[in-house]
Amino acid sequence: MKESNAAIPSMFTTLRYKDARKAIQWLLKAFGLEPGFVTPTEGDLVGHAEMFYGAGGIMFGSEKENDDPLGTVNQAQCAGIYMIVEDVDSHYARAIAAGAGIAMDIYDTDYGSREYTARDFEGHLWSFGNYRPERPTAS
């Protein structure tokens, strides 16, 4: 699913992981993200990592002591991610097989999307569905 840089969106979700190195492997296996640029730092920490799915992506790094400027305390509950997938049912099965915790079972919405929500291995919420928002056109 490689895309040109022109197709990369102007906004990315950012996360912190206690074990960012494990996150790279887990997100690849469970959710099908592709690894991108990774900047290692001291010890086993990751200074910056990027992963992509289609034209979207996330950026993350290792959680560090005193690394909470917003005072969010539990960073896993302060953000959520929505990822567009073509085959929601097979993606759901893949996530379960990799040990993702299902927070909301697969369902059909009243606006025509098929979706589910899972928690990754550190508790971050990820929602997956086939709904693709469209930018409104000027009238």
| pLDDT tens sequence across 34-77 | 999 898 787 888 988 999 998 888 988 888 766 554 444 455 44
pLDDT tens digit sequence for 68-112: 544 444 554 456 788 989 999 999 999 999 999 999 999 998 878
Euclidean distance between CA atoms 130 and 10, whole angstroms: 21
pTM reported for the whole predicted model: 0.71
Euclidean distance between CA atoms 47 and 54, whole angstroms: 24
Euclidean distance between CA atoms 83 and 79, whole angstroms: 13
Closest listed residue to residue 120, CA positions, set 29, 14, 48, 11: 29
CATH topology of domain 5-65+75-129: 2,3-Dihydroxybiphenyl 1,2-Dioxygenase; domain 1 (3.10.180)
Burial letters 33-45, b for 16+ CB under 10 A, else e: beeeeeeeeeeee
> Cβ-count burial of 128 within 10 angstroms (0-12 exposed, 13-18 middle, 19+ buried)?
buried
Higher pLDDT, 75 or 129: 129
Higher pLDDT, 1 or 53: 53
Q: What residue spans define the domains of the chain?
A: 5-65+75-129
Predicted confidence at residue 79, as pLDDT, reads 64
